Amino acid sequence: MTPTLRGRWQSRLFLMGTLGFLVTIFFMIVFGSIAPFYLLVLVTVLGFFWDIVYTLIQKWRWDHDWPPAFQLGAGIWEMIVLAALVYGADIIGMAPRPDQFLLHYSAVWLAVFAGSQSLMRLVFPRWRYNGGQWLS
């Protein structure tokens, strides 16, 4: 993957809004709580900031790319920060059970990761050439 900043933002918005949202609805029903939805919104919004940082890191790499291992690393990093905000700063006002948080977060991450590797390419054939932009 060689995403650009606009591509990252657009892909994040699309995948969180589709696959991430579907996964979150499932967990909202299972957990009987609205907390997963707030978490989804929070992780998406924070992501817009992280994407700026990631794009800068890419410039240090000869290929300006973002290997899958970096995607995983970023996912773990974002989770740590999110957990700190949810449990430390009580930012959403309703901290979910840690095991539920971990399960939901992992499921969303996996769905988005898999979607970025496959679905995006199939639905948007130009996506892979446009640094992850699906809107022109």
Partner 1 sequence: MYNSSNQPLINLAWHHPHTGQRRMMSAALPVTIGRAADNSIPLDSKFVSAHHVRLEERQGEVFVIDMGSRNSVRLNNNDVSDESVVFHGDQLQIGPFTFSLEIPENSSVLAGPATQLLPTSQIQRVAKMTAHAAVTPVLPHQQPLIRDTGTADFPPAIFRKKIVPVDMLTRIVGEQIEETSYLAIGGGLGSFVWVDHLMVYGVKRQDIVSIGFEPKPYGRYRRLCRNSQIPDHERLRSNSDSCPDNLWGWPGYAVREIWDNTSHGRLGQAARIGWQIFNEPLVQTYTPKAGVVFDSIDQEAARIGWDKIWRHGRVRAVRKTDDGRYVVAYSLIKPDGSTEHKLILAQFVHLAVGYPGVRFLSDLQEYREKTGDFHHVVNAYEKHDEVYDHLEQYGGTVLIRGRGIVASRIIQRIQEARERSGRDIRIIHLMRSPNTEGQKAGLAQRAVDNHWEFQPFNWPKAAWGGDLRKKLENANTKTRAELLDQWGGTTTADRLDWRDMVREGLTAGWYSIYFGTVLDVRPHKKTGQIATKVMQNHGEVALAVADYIVDATGLEAGIEGNALLKDLVTHYDLPRNGKGRLKVTNDFALIDMDNGRGQIYASGISTLGGPFAAVDSFLGLQYAALRSVDNLTAQNAPGLRRLNGLRSLNQWTRWARGVQP
Footprint of partner 1 (CB under 8 A):
2-4, 7, 58-65, 67-69, 72, 117-118, 121-126, 128-131
Shortest Å distance, C-beta 39 to partner 1:
26
Q: Which is nearer to partner 1, 49 or 129 (CB)?
A: 129
Round the CA-based radius of gyration of the chain to a whole number and report it: 15
Shortest Å distance, C-beta 94 to partner 1:
35
Q: Which is nearer to partner 1, 59 or 99 (CB)?
A: 59
Q: Which residues contact 122 (CB under 8 A, 6 or more apart)?
A: none
Give the separation between CA 3 and CA 126, rounded to whole angstroms: 13
Q: Which is nearer to partner 1, 20 or 132 (CB)?
A: 132
Give the separation between CA 43 and CA 12, rounded to whole angstroms: 10
Which tokens is 115 given? 């979607």
Q: Which is nearer to partner 1, 31 or 70 (CB)?
A: 70
Counting every residue written for the chain, the total comes to 136
Residue 95: half-sphere exposure toward Cβ, Cα within 13 Å: 13
Give the separation between CA 76 and CA 89, rounded to whole angstroms: 19
Shortest Å distance, C-beta 72 to partner 1:
8
Shortest Å distance, C-beta 55 to partner 1:
8
